Amino acid sequence: MNSIYNHGLKQTQTITRDLTEFEKNLSTSPLSLQGAITTSITAFKKTIKEYSDLLDKATTDSTYTKHESRLTKFNQDLEQFTTKFDSLKKQREISLQESNKQELLGRRHIPTSQQSSDNPYDPNSQPQNVMPQREGLYNENQALSRGSEQLDRILEMGQQAFEDIVEQNETLRKLQTKFEEGLIVLGVSQGTIRSVERRAKQDKWLFWFCVVMMLVIFYYIIKFFR
């Protein structure tokens, strides 16, 4: 259980570091960082579940309280990580919306020198460019939205694949534990058999020694009385 606990501590350190980096660069942090945090939190949940299962099965009364307090701390850390990550994602969305809004307002603002004049042939007349600019912004936002959705799907697929790998690793670890237990039981059985064989061999030699001694004693008794 100590190895699983140490692994969980490393995961908490990684998640804390990534959340700190995400918080410092909300608007400029890459989506891959969010994916890494999501994956780390999912893996941490798996570690907590595995630790909890071992606590229910293999912990003695003398160490139960210690491991139970560790498990409680892990659950508190997980709740804090999840809450903070959700809050940071919302802050990032608000920041990006404000940034896009300011950019849109900035592009809508046309200097007085470029405003349309009464002369329709004035080269400085710009009304016909307003709609293309708006359409360009709309198309740009749509492209960003589609790209964000695709990245989310890719991250979700990666997360699912990671969860499958973690689950397979957990299954292999359980099989390894059972295999080691089987080897231990087999080793104890073989040791017991060898001990019985040695004892039987010793008893056999002791029996024949007693038989020989008894024959010798009978021989001398018969000889003495003759």
Is residue 223 assigned to a domain? yes
Same domain, residue pair 10 and 101: yes
What is the C-alpha end-to-end distance of the chain, expressed in Å? Answer: 79
Same domain, residue pair 6 and 76: yes
Number of domains in the chain: 2
For residue 219, the enclosing domain spans 184-226
Is residue 41 assigned to a domain? yes
Same domain, residue pair 63 and 154: yes
Whether this model's pTM surpasses 0.85: no
Is residue 65 assigned to a domain? yes
Same domain, residue pair 68 and 101: yes
Each residue's pLDDT expressed in tens, for the chain with a length of 226 residues: 788 888 999 999 999 999 999 888 887 878 888 888 999 999 999 999 988 888 877 656 667 788 888 889 999 999 999 999 999 988 888 887 887 777 667 655 545 454 444 454 454 444 445 445 555 665 666 666 666 666 666 766 776 677 767 777 777 777 777 776 776 666 656 667 677 778 878 887 888 888 888 888 877 777 776 6
